[in-house]
């Protein structure tokens, strides 16, 4: 077989993976436009996101089995073609129902791209150069979800929401051509000829589909106050329980859970949950803060969140190409976790009158800290995994990362709602109409409305309403600060757990 430059292989597969990562966030910003265009409510339009996440989450853990069944190159190309065709159909969708159907197929195609490309990267490079490979992969994993809202906002403002799907096609075609030319199945990748594990697959679909629905719709439905959410949580728990039991007992599982016996890999998967909970929680929270409280447009909010991407862009190659050669990966992760925790905590010092640089530096240092975690974590997690097991490991880790991201977003949105209500209750108790400060504010606003032609009773009512609106805005603002403090704490267990991972021998560190 002809020797191919590994960086050409990296570029080929990452092109396809990058558009899939972009699609995890690019549609979020366009939901109001989609709802208006298709004459549905904003709540109904959220199924555009939920349907993708459910189908994507089901495919992630079985991608390794599908690669073994059909051949890795063939499966990657098939996933990419399905993703591209579905993207085109999403752009052409005449109704919400059809858009949801096409998004399901898009999620099925996209779910095969992430873990397969990760496995290809890790197998293409020798162990001592994996730090370089994962640093490039990390740029795609971290930067493209950040770019999604910015690009989605720009496209919907200047063209139409349908183009957020059409842009996948030319990039996908280029990736398709390059992968066809330069990717080959490795000789050690044995083709799976055993019959499919239908029972394991069935339990997996039930567990992941119902869990993803709960995580995506839980806050909207009221979590445990909703009988539907409670029922779906129970169904999900039962499905996942029997999935785990069956996969550990059957000799030919569709998902190889036995790989979790590797202590470092198992701890690495736990750390991924903490990392992506914090990463996606702040990725969602900061744009909401800017748009709802500071009045930014979607595009302006995307621009304001770029400092994190700039920090990541600088930090990732330095970590992968330089730092991993000289420092223990566990030490780098601990330093990165401290930096990310402090940077996230400093976001809680923001106020409603901040300037650009007040927002720039905490995000920049957060972006600079994340590569110190991501590249070493990738290198360490797969350090003891054989090439034959690499596909199974990347698929399982991708599923865990996906669940961690969804949990982080659910926690963030729920905390914002609950903390805002708690602060509003607390502030209302101190809103005494007899207070000189409150009385003077209501009196001043009443005079303002009187001068603009309103009656005395109207002016008084509008003044009291304005004061209450200010109180509600203050409560909402305080809830965002609580959110930043809460997710800063997520990095404390991360710091403690990294040192339970096995130290890699010197020759196994990234070079």
- Looking at residues 40-69, what average pLDDT do you find? 88
> pLDDT of 427-457, one tens digit each?
777 666 656 666 666 667 677 666 767 776 7
pLDDT at 266: 94
> pLDDT of 176-194, one tens digit each?
999 999 988 887 777 777 7
Looking at domain 1-191, its CATH superfamily turns out to be MFS general substrate transporter like domains (1.20.1250.20)
Which residues fall within 8 angstroms of residue 179, CB to CB, at 6 or more apart? 12, 13, 16, 73, 76, 77, 80
The sign of the CA dihedral 213, 218, 220, 224 is positive
Percentage of the residues of the chain whose pLDDT score is greater than 90? 40
1-191 and 270-511 share one fold: yes
pLDDT at 172: 93
Cβ-contact 170, 7 below 8 angstroms: no
Cα separation of 103 and 73, whole Å? Answer: 23
What is the rounded average pLDDT for all residues in the chain? Answer: 86
Cβ-contact 346, 362 below 8 angstroms: yes
Percentage of the residues of the chain whose pLDDT score is greater than 70? 92
Q: What is the pTM of this model?
A: 0.84
Q: Does residue 507 surpass a pLDDT of 50?
A: no
pLDDT at 441: 67
Cα separation of 147 and 303, whole Å? Answer: 9
Which residues fall within 8 angstroms of residue 490, CB to CB, at 6 or more apart? 274, 277, 278, 341
Residue with tokens 């403090």: 485
Q: Let me know how many helices (H) and strands (E) the chain has, helices first.
A: 23, 0
Topology of the domain comprising 270-511? Growth Hormone; Chain: A; (1.20.1250)
> pLDDT of 264-319, one tens digit each?
999 999 999 988 888 888 887 888 888 778 888 777 877 888 898 899 989 999 99
Question: Residue 259 class from Cβ within 10 Å (0-12 exposed, 13-18 middle, 19+ buried)?
Answer: buried
pLDDT at 76: 94
The domain limits of the chain are: 1-191, 197-253, 270-511
Rg, the chain, Cα only: 24
Q: Measuring CA to CA, how many Å separate 16 from each of 12, 58, 82, 186?
A: 7, 19, 12, 20
């Amino acid at each position: 077989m002809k020797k191919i430059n590994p960086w050409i292989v990296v570029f080929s597969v990452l092109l396809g993976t990058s558009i899939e990562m972009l699609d995890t966030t690019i549609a979020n910003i366009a939901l109001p436009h989609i709802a208006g265009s298709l004459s549905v409510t904003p709540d109904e339009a959220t199924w555009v996101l939920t349907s993708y996440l459910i189908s994507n989450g089901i495919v992630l853990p079985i991608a390794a089995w599908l690669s073994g069944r059909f051949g890795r190159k063939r499966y990657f190309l098939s996933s990419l073609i399905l993703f591209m065709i579905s993207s085109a159909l999403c752009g052409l969708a005449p109704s919400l129902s059809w858009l949801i159907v096409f998004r399901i197929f898009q999620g099925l195609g996209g779910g095969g791209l992430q873990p397969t490309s990760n496995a290809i990267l890790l197998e293409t490079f020798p162990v001592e150069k994996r730090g370089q490979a994962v640093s490039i992969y990390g740029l795609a994993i971290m930067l493209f979800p950040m770019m999604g809202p910015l690009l989605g906002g720009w496209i919907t403002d200047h063209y139409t929401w349908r183009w957020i799907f059409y842009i996948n096609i030319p990039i996908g075609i280029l990736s398709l051509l390059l992968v066809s030319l330069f990717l080959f199945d490795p000789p050690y990748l044995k083709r799976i000829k055993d019959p499919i594990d239908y029972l394991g697959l069935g339990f997996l679909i039930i567990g992941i589909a119902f869990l993803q629905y709960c995580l995506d719709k839980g806050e909207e439905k009221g979590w445990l106050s909703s009988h539907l959410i409670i029922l779906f949580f129970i169904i999900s728990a039962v499905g996942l329980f029997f999935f785990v039991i069956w996969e550990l007992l059957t000799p030919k599982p569709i998902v190889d859970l036995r790989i979790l016996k590797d202590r470092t890999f198992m701890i690495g998967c736990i750390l991924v949950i903490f990392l992506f909970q914090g990463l996606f929680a702040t990725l969602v929270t900061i744009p909401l803060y800017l748009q709802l409280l500071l009045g930014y447009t979607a595009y302006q909010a995307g621009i304001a969140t770029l400092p994190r991407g700039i920090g990541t862009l600088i930090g990732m190659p330095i970590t992968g190409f330089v730092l991993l050669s000289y420092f223990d990966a566990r030490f780098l992760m601990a330093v990165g976790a401290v930096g990310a925790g402090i940077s996230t905590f400093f976001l809680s010092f923001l106020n409603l009158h901040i300037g650009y640089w007040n927002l720039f530096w905490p995000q920049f240092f957060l972006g600079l800290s994340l590569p110190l975690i991501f590249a070493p974590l990738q290198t360490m997690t797969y350090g003891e995994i054989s090439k034959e097991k690499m596909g199974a490991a990347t698929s399982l880790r991708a599923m865990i990362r996906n669940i961690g991201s969804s949990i982080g977003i659910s926690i963030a949105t729920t905390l914002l709602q609950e903390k805002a209500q708690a602060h509003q209750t607390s502030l209302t108790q101190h809103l005494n109409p007899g207070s000189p400060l409150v009385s003077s504010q209501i009196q001043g606003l009443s005079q303002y409305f009187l001068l603009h032609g309103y009656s005395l009773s109207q002016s008084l009512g509008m003044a009291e309403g304005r004061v209450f609106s200010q109180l509600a805005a203050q409560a909402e603002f305080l809830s965002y600060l609580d959110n930043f403090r809460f997710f800063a704490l997520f990095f404390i267990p991360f710091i403690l757990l990294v040192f339970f991972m096995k130290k890699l021998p010197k020759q196994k560190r990234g070079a």
